[in-house]
Structure 1
Amino acid sequence: MKKGLLTFIAFLFTVSLVAQQLPYQNPKLSAEVRATDLLARLTLAEKAALMQNNSPAIPRLGIKAYEWWNEALHGVGRSGVATVFPQAIGMAASFNNGLLFDAFTAVSDEARAKSNKFSEQGGLKRYQGLTYWTPNVNIFRDPRWGRGQETYGEDPYLTSLMGVAVVKGLQGPDNAEYDKLHACAKHFAVHSGPEWNRHSFNAENINPRDLWETYLPAFKALVQKADVKEVMCAYNRFEDEPCCGSNRLLTQILRNDWKFDGLVVSDCWAISDFYKPNAHATQPDATHAAANAVLNGTDLECGSDFRNLPEAVKAGLIEEKRIDVSLKRLLKARFELGEMNSDQVWPISYSVVNSEKHQNLALRMAEESIVLLQNNNNILPLSKKLKIAVMGPNANDSVMQWGNYNGFPAHTVTLLEAMRKSFPGAQLIYEPGCDRTMDVAVSSLFQECSIDGKKGFVAQYWNNRNSEGEPVATDVLKNAFRLTTTGATAFAAGVNIRDFSAKYKTVFRPTKSGDVTFQFQVSGRTSLTINGEIVNRNVSANTPTNVYQLKAEAGKSYEIEIAFSQGNTDANLNFDFGTLVPLDLSASIAKVKDADVVVFAGGIAPSLEGEEMRVTVPGFKGGDRTDIELPAIQRRLLQALKDAGKKVVFVNFSGSAMGLVPETQSCEAILQAWYPGQAGGTAVANVLLGNYNPSGRLPVTFYKNVAQLPDFEDYSMKGRTYRYMTEKPLFSFGYGLSYTKFVLGTAKLNKSSIKANETLKITVPVTNAGKVAGTEVLQVYVRKVKDVDGPAKTLRGFKKVNIEPGKTSQISIDLTSSAFEFYDWTQRKMMVTPGEYEVYYGTSSDAKDLKKASIIIR
């Protein structure tokens, strides 16, 4: 009786606590106070659980489950339908940080609307929360890096401005009661490939000048100018310490020097690299790794090694009060977002998702991202009276346009679709011509597939490996499959990245008889069934492989089913089927013989360059590239078209700089289109037809070939990028043509000398001497005279201005003291020192496009 009475009294006490509002439950209190109160109520085991990205619910305290992991690199990623903007490198080419802010304000609207809807179902799962792991502000120091497409280019200043715009757009107004979202600056620091050895790579012997002038400025800007709420530490080691266990990076620089008070999150499973023998192996086991990471400044783990923190406390490796420091940051962040509140704090209608306003914004950003690299004899813009042939492997590939870390647009306009609207019927010829990399291409027959009234394949997904129970997600795939979990990308929203399975079904109704080839590239257990018969039980293909040939008869129906389950590694499923078309140069050229101009959509694709990929195509390794030239098969076809007397406009789709030396000879015009998102086809067509006058500028140097590049694993900036390159590149950083001509006058400086804390104003008259309106990007670079090992020049300001024909605009740019800040070897820090400085102004970083002025700093 006594024990029962005590239990009843405890029950009443618990009910009483629930009935009255505890301090952490009171939204009128500050996030700091609420976090402090809640922290004191947690057990050590609960604390460790909350410090992992997949944070569980704690029902006794009313804490809901929360998943910290979410993506929004260029639109809300991996979470169903969303507006898909151009890949980050393309948005950098806009040189328009104001437009980028607008784009990410739209992204944050969609993100909040989606999260509000998901929250109605309970705790927030992966890709449903409010903490977004973007932007990537690593420096794109080498065009071979597959993830360079996720960055804002090679320049620290441009990267800083673009990154600040992204963070402010995502996090919302500073004076709001609750943060709209939390952004994350990644990957801190000195991280830009190679992908194939990132778990063991040591960035060592880094020149202090390179560290402070190149690799750190963007992170500092996001911390001090944008108040970014999270920083993600990188996979690699920095000076022998894993970045997620680097006291110098995370404590001395980030916390002490920059006064960062947000939270540090590890890259996914980076803590496991601390002890794995094939990785860094700097710690003996997971318990030591977890303690080491927290002690050196990592607060939140993407992974599960922090579950060992209680054991680390027991072993004396770390004190619980140090764990409390990190956990309080996490709790405070959740309160700042209003995620712990019972009511929604940012009630945004779901109708904003892919709204007409956002679609228009995606189109404008795609247009501003396009760079005109060459326009011989002013072949562009194209007359609508011409007969046009559209060719190339990227002309009708919507998935290519999405880039990586992408969302899923309601509709993607390809270049072929957009061109058909302007050149109807016989005025336009479509001839693919070749595959991206192979001599034989698959002419897809997806358009002849449907099931249950839906075009393409219907997909069903289970979060187990045996397709048991009810599916957790369904989808419709209208194009060739390009599915991967590499980079922790789910096959579909709500689907695990491990321990999952899928079935893809359709009915194929061929309009012509003939051999139909089924082509796979897979990692996982896969089978192919046709009309109930398993025709290939264990598909095995590390490279695109033709695994089955069907002798199809017109008028018949063929039920196709592909069964897939994840194996012991990352899952990949690339699939297409259709007729094999061997490259026949003469046949392809014959089909376009009547065309006045050939628009060739070529380049590469995110399926070839990206994060830690299993790609074995020649020229590509682990997601990186081993050369930067256009694949040989495309070069052959372009040269054959040239030899046949065809005028070719080459549209290059890629996430990185390409060595296009032969293409400057075989093609009349060259457009760089990047991975332009859902409106990419319309944007490119608008530029080709003159509906939009191109204004994009290169955020990276286009080298001639890999011979102009230092060793990929050498992190010294010597010989890299426009700032340190001594050879002449193919196309310079900041370069881009227009359909009009701009003439720059002589700059006026408001002072001939300034003090170190004063601002210099430079005003440049820019005249549109052409016949059409256009947009110029005035660029200002600074060089410190007598700085023997400093950069030849470095971007310190730019302004994008539209000018009507015959008009002159007086463009003014302010250069604050930071514009003259360089690394000082005597003081061992960044600072402004007295002396003479050269100020270059013009239309690209190329010396021929620049004029010079001088300024003395007293």
Structure 2
Amino acid sequence: MKYLLLRVLALILLLSSCSKNQKNNASSDINRKVDSLLNEMTLQEKIGQLNLPSAGDVSTGISTNAGIAKSIKEGKVGGLFNITGIDKIRAVQKVAVEESRLGIPLIIAKDVIHGYKTTFPIPFGLSASWDMELIQQSARIAAEEASSDGIAWTFSPMTDISRDPRWGRVSEGGGEDPYLGGQIAAAMVRGYQGDDLSAENTLLACVKHFALYGASEAGRDYNTVDMSRLRMYNDYFPPYKAAVDAGVGTVMASFNEVDGVPATGNKWLMTKVLREEWGFDGFVVSDYTGVSEMIAHGMGDLQDVSALALNAGVEMDMVSEGFLTTLKKSVEEGKVSEETINNACRLILKAKYQLGLFDDPYKYMDEERASKELFSDENRAVARKAASESMVLLKNDGEALPVNKNAKIALIGPLANNKENMVGTWSVSADIMKSVSIYEGIKEVSENPDNIQYAKGSNLVEDADLEELIGMHGKNTYRDDRPEAEMINEAVELANESDVVVAILGEASESSGESSSRTDISIPDNQVRLLKALKGTGKKVVVVLLSGRPLVLGEILPHSDAILNAWFPGSEAGLALADVLYGDVNPSGKLTMTYPQNVGQIPIYYSHKNTGRPLEGEWFQKFKSNYLDVTNEPQFPFGFGLSYTQFKYDNLKLSSDSLSEDGTINVTVEVSNIGERTGKEVVQLYMRDLVATITRPVKELIGFEKIELKAGETKTVEFSISEKDLAFYHQDMSFYAEPGDFKVFVGSSSEKVLESNFELK
């Protein structure tokens, strides 16, 4: 037996060595091909590879379009994005490989953010699942669908940490926590890129926006960012680095400035941190017109900012065409070296070889595969599961949920019978009219569809001009011009005839997302008036929130029996919501951002630091760090989420009360389902460094595990803590853990925890 085990081990090592050698040989082969091609290229052709224009809304005859076709023929285009449809993509690729001098294929990109045709919950909603396998699967399905339809490159994942829910792009990220954000980033990269980029069903991923974009001042998009290096490294950089460590192929520069220099032209950021410190070996692309926007920042004219970006380490210019039109002149004037252009071109050509585009430029255009994979029943089933697993139960008084499948439901709300808004923001490839509305989904799952009656009840907002703004990109809100009183009376009459009211409240899908920042993130007054009237009927009122960010909920909490945050659930919205409302799925989502009591508390996040005068207790104390008008507590803390069952935590144990430099401590806790339903629970592990040379947060997430327990079942959950889990960046940017005392917390949220202590020797 011992001999057999040794033979098996030797075989495993041999196969591993062979695989590594194959990868090294493939890389060397690609490098030789790239160098050979570079030797054939003119300076202008090299510069052309650095140009990424938007194709826009083009016709099928793009190959004969004078502008774009001429540029491709002349070798002035390295890639295209915003082009959809196999016929169109094949036409432009044909021009590149059959009509240009060197036949270099284009790389075709698309914003595949949370699904392609099959649409998953918005990324912020999906993060609430805390299920890395499910998140990776969502990216894998998106890659399979998009790659069959001609797309080779996606501008995802967005990993910007944000602690300000006024910022609209919260909807595209994974919340406020660097550890969780890093886990999500790595899962998305693995899902998109798979194990082999040359496979026909993978996408080149792009982590964005590097860096710090989620910390825009005042929560206003594209705004200034200013923070210390310590905060960058400890709080905001980890998710980007996790994506790089996972092998992400490309990085996108952010719009904001970093240390006074726009990220797009920031050499410290793009070269020192990204390449030298983290070892990134792919290419960097600017965001949309990010190069030319540095002119408004005050960094010079188009030639100046283009040279600044290239010298900083940005290899591809999206839309600005500053590289295309000025770099040759900058070489002649000595502002940019030809070697710098060679290096940039080399990285882009390398990515095209890795994708297999030189072997088969048309590999991503497979009508047969597309017909089978796009919006397939199998993919829709996963999207339905992902949506239901992401929903967060915030309140459930008197077991208002789940609802009996035979109950008469008054379904009320401005988006209760709306398909277009279910998919959320950045769903550019979705067939929005194929999504399942909430009304349709509940009727389909109900045992008696005639028991489901609908009334709109109110418009999304009172201001018609504002509602027009948030109905953009085809996301019609179908504004009702009837008087408010008439709409409310209709809803109340329906409620009186029903067993339970399900009120769909919140915001439109385009109320969040890019360029959708808000100063007021509370529920609109007209929706609050509707809810009060519904509650006045004496019926149980279940509120379903549609949102792309944390909302201020103080006005609706007293007038609801249950609150379920459904985010924007995707193409299977109505069915997934029905699964949760009727109890076929027990909600298990947990918040990934803290919910404030009001906007005045922002920024509010669980991993804050203490002041020298921390508040002791909850209520106001003079000369302590607190407010006169509200407590310091959030409305709902990070990690919070209820279930239709109850979980109990017991017997937190540490394997030792001390941790050596190279050792580990095992942390175990017993989690019991003391309710009557099977349910899933996210067990969360936090720690605190009690004494350090720089101030440390009061709590930091360092691990989690999502488990499923049957009614009455108990499981022991185990975590392992090593010195690396306790390490942080110091003032000299060194990364290590300091010996001393630590506290460990395990629980169902960042606030509800058991705790113990240990010492790092």
Q: Secondary structure at the match of 1:85?
A: coil
Matched, 1:669 2:704: no
Alignment of 1:8-407 (within 5 A): 30-54=29-53, 55=77, 57=96, 59-64=99-104, 66-76=106-116, 82-115=117-150, 129-173=151-195, 180-192=202-214, 193=216, 198=221, 201-204=223-226, 206-224=227-245, 226-275=246-295, 279-283=296-300, 285-303=301-319, 304-307=321-324, 308-342=326-360, 349-350=369-370, 351-406=372-427, 407=429
Change (3 A) 1:664 1:520: closer
Counterpart of 1:415, as a letter, is I
Q: Secondary structure at the match of 1:111?
A: helix
Change (3 A) 1:389 1:572: closer
CA distance in 2, matches of 1:53, 1:649: 48
CA distance in 2, matches of 1:754, 1:697: 31
CA distance in 1, matches of 2:710, 2:480: 51
Instruction: Select the structure that is richer in helix.
Output: 2
Matched, 1:657 2:657: no
The counterpart of 1:811, out of the listed 679, 696, 717, is 717
Counterpart of 2:659, as a letter, is I
Matched, 1:745 2:638: no
CA distance in 2, matches of 1:701, 1:34: 51
The 8 Å contact of residues 273 and 281 in structure 1, kept in 2 or not, is answered as no
CA distance in 1, matches of 2:411, 2:682: 31
TM-score scaled to structure 2, two decimals? 0.83
Change (3 A) 1:438 1:202: closer
Matched, 1:823 2:726: no
Q: Secondary structure at the match of 2:51?
A: coil
User: Residue 396 of structure 1: CA displacement?
Assistant: 1.3
Matched, 1:708 2:576: no
TM-score scaled to structure 1, two decimals? 0.74
The counterpart of 2:460, out of the listed 420, 436, 451, is 436
User: Residue 609 of structure 1: CA displacement?
Assistant: 2.1
The counterpart of 1:798, out of the listed 671, 692, 704, is 704
The 8 Å contact of residues 722 and 732 in structure 1, kept in 2 or not, is answered as no
The 8 Å contact of residues 388 and 423 in structure 1, kept in 2 or not, is answered as no
Counterpart of 2:297, as a letter, is H
Matched, 1:627 2:648: no
Matched, 1:417 2:454: no
Instruction: Tell me how large the CA RMSD over aligned residues is.
Output: 2.5
Counterpart of 2:501, as a letter, is V
User: Residue 724 of structure 1: CA displacement?
Assistant: 4.7
CA distance in 2, matches of 1:89, 1:28: 36
Change (3 A) 1:298 1:418: same
Change (3 A) 1:831 1:296: same
CA distance in 1, matches of 2:669, 2:440: 42
| Superimposed CA distance per residue, residues 402-431 of structure 1 (whole angstroms, 9 cap, x where no aligned partner) | 112213147211111112221645522211
| Superimposed CA distance per residue, residues 458-498 of structure 1 (whole angstroms, 9 cap, x where no aligned partner) | xxxxxxxxxxxxxxxxxxxxxxxxxxxxxxxxxxxxxxxxx
Instruction: Select the structure that is richer in strand.
Output: 1
Change (3 A) 1:682 1:643: same
Matched, 1:647 2:540: yes
The 8 Å contact of residues 686 and 699 in structure 2, kept in 1 or not, is answered as yes
CA distance in 2, matches of 1:579, 1:633: 13
User: Residue 108 of structure 1: CA displacement?
Assistant: 1.3
Q: Secondary structure at the match of 1:249?
A: helix
Change (3 A) 1:439 1:212: closer
Alignment of 1:349-748 (within 5 A): 349-350=369-370, 351-406=372-427, 407-409=429-431, 411-421=434-444, 422=446, 424=448, 426-438=450-462, 580-584=481-485, 585-612=488-515, 623-710=516-603, 719-724=604-609, 727-748=632-653
The 8 Å contact of residues 164 and 219 in structure 2, kept in 1 or not, is answered as no
CA distance in 2, matches of 1:196, 1:802: 37
| Superimposed CA distance per residue, residues 623-682 of structure 1 (whole angstroms, 9 cap, x where no aligned partner) | 101022111110111112223323210000001001111211100000000010011111
CA distance in 2, matches of 1:343, 1:289: 33
Counterpart of 2:683, as a letter, is L
User: Residue 240 of structure 1: CA displacement?
Assistant: 1.0
User: Residue 824 of structure 1: CA displacement?
Assistant: 2.4
CA distance in 2, matches of 1:852, 1:27: 51
CA distance in 2, matches of 1:434, 1:604: 12
Change (3 A) 1:735 1:64: same
CA distance in 2, matches of 1:46, 1:73: 31
Counterpart of 1:648, as a letter, is V
Change (3 A) 1:292 1:99: same
Q: Secondary structure at the match of 2:153?
A: coil
| Superimposed CA distance per residue, residues 148-202 of structure 1 (whole angstroms, 9 cap, x where no aligned partner) | 1000111111111011000001001159778932101100011124699655x43
CA distance in 2, matches of 1:577, 1:845: 40
CA distance in 1, matches of 2:663, 2:416: 52
2:12 maps to none
The 8 Å contact of residues 146 and 195 in structure 1, kept in 2 or not, is answered as no
CA distance in 2, matches of 1:599, 1:179: 41
Change (3 A) 1:89 1:574: closer
The 8 Å contact of residues 664 and 720 in structure 2, kept in 1 or not, is answered as yes
User: Residue 98 of structure 1: CA displacement?
Assistant: 1.1
CA distance in 2, matches of 1:68, 1:633: 45
User: Residue 401 of structure 1: CA displacement?
Assistant: 1.4
1:466 maps to none
Counterpart of 2:742, as a letter, is Y
Percent identity between the two aligned chains: 32
Counterpart of 2:316, as a letter, is L
Between stretches 104-113 and 234-243, larger displacement belongs to 104-113
Matched, 1:761 2:657: no
Change (3 A) 1:343 1:766: same
Q: Secondary structure at the match of 1:398?
A: coil
The 8 Å contact of residues 263 and 330 in structure 1, kept in 2 or not, is answered as yes
Change (3 A) 1:140 1:820: same
Counterpart of 1:153, as a letter, is G
The 8 Å contact of residues 540 and 561 in structure 2, kept in 1 or not, is answered as yes
Counterpart of 2:46, as a letter, is K
User: Residue 343 of structure 1: CA displacement?
Assistant: 6.7
| Superimposed CA distance per residue, residues 500-550 of structure 1 (whole angstroms, 9 cap, x where no aligned partner) | xxxxxxxxxxxxxxxxxxx9988xxxxxxxxxxxxxxxxxxx798xxxxxx
The 8 Å contact of residues 394 and 642 in structure 2, kept in 1 or not, is answered as yes
User: Residue 586 of structure 1: CA displacement?
Assistant: 3.4
Change (3 A) 1:175 1:644: closer
